[in-house]
Amino acid sequence: MTKTAFTTPPPSSSFSPTEYDDDDDNDNEPAIIRAWVYTTGGYPSCVRQTLLPAPDIQPTIGGGGGIIGPTTLLIRVRAAALNPVDIQLMNLPVVWSLPFLSGAEKGIGADFAGTVVAAGREAAAGGFGAGDGVFGLHFAPFGGAAGTLKEVIAVDMRSAVVLKKPRDWTWAQAAALPLVWLTARTCVGRCEGFVGGGGGKGTGTVAVLGASSATGMYAVVLAKRRGWRVVGTCSARNEEFVKRMGVDVVIDYTKGGVREKVAAEGPDAIIDCVGGTECLYLARRYVTIVGDKTSRSAIGGSLTYLWNPRMVLRALLGKLGLRSELYECVNLETRKDYLEEALHLDKEEIVVDSTFSFEQVREALERMNSGRCRGKVVVSIGP
């Protein structure tokens, strides 16, 4: 008889899969969890729900409970957020064409919020214990422990960023934050030497292209914390929303003339969250998370340097001082201190577009891929 794992909270930090058995007549049978994965063929046909063995927990000698790796947290996931990179990885041919990847089930998701089931020795020494509400980023796209769209995850604290969840945040809000906050914080950090007299504080101007996007809105929040004047591009329907987030000057990109309008505001730096080349060379600093491409289904970040020599040349010319603009296409920095800055957010500043049930992951992916979201799309996995 198949066993279903993790239907109730754990009684203590000593954990073994059999504590969750609904059938005690065969304790050698491994516990299982539900998970969403993708395989080959690209989005959306590659997405499916499956059953996986629960994260491996080595039994102690004599059967006295269980142990996990010293830097590992075992977490029952309550909510996980979706990101465009999830679909971009599904559509990346190398992910499903290479022999060692083509047949494998690969996990979906990197953001999570949940309850600690058990903590390894070093993780416990860091202040984590069974029953703690936590949130964070666990990005391991091709590993055996990949993905957060599953009932239970094993997170290695050496590569993940995990914090305790503020009590007044919902699970959905906590899950919605890590990846986009860390991305926005990375972008703002790369602009600090160029805005506000070079010290990161002051009255300089930054332009955020895509200010209503999930990353763009937090770039706005972080810029305003530094006292910067913010110019933001978005559609007319999002104008009041970005103003509430802190944008000083709104440019409606649907009316055209974006380059001229941004140039007229004299930005010291530009943070690009949408892609394209329209606003290149309008500021001393240009940081993009997307690159030249504008397709939502194509991978962004620094990986795009591999197939876009114009971006490579642009970045090199800036670093060599042969162009006045310093250009960079960045990936997020998984820094704990960066995520800790988010703990000062009011819960009203954490924007969730919509929440879907675990059975509705396909619908959730479609909503995210529509490009019409205001905030993050979140999947609820448990109560």
pLDDT per residue over 158-188, tens digit each? 999 999 999 999 999 999 999 999 999 999 9
3-state helix, strand, coil in the chain (%, to 5): 30, 25, 45
Distance between CA atoms of residues 116 and 114, nearest Å: 7
Residue 361 included in any domain: yes
Q: Please count the structural domains in the chain.
A: 2
Q: How far apart are CA 130 and CA 11, in angstroms?
A: 8
Residues 232 and 124 occupy one common structural domain: no
Same domain flag for 34 and 136: yes
Q: What is the pTM of this model?
A: 0.88
* pLDDT of the residue at 31: 85
**110 and 258 inside one domain:** no
Do 25 and 169 share a domain, yes or no?
A: yes
For residue 301, give its domain range: 180-329
pLDDT tens across 215-244, in order?
999 999 999 999 999 999 999 999 999 999
112 and 163 in a single domain? The answer is: yes
**Which of 221, 371, 350, 193 has the alpha carbon at shortest distance from 287?**
193
Alpha-carbon distance 149 to 142, whole Å? 14
Query: What pLDDT, on a 0 to 100 scale, did the predictor assign at position 95?
Result: 58
Is residue 2 domain-resident?
A: no
CA proximity to 34, closest of 6, 75, 58: 6
Considering the domain boundaries, does residue 8 fall inside one?
A: no
pLDDT at 42 over 70: yes
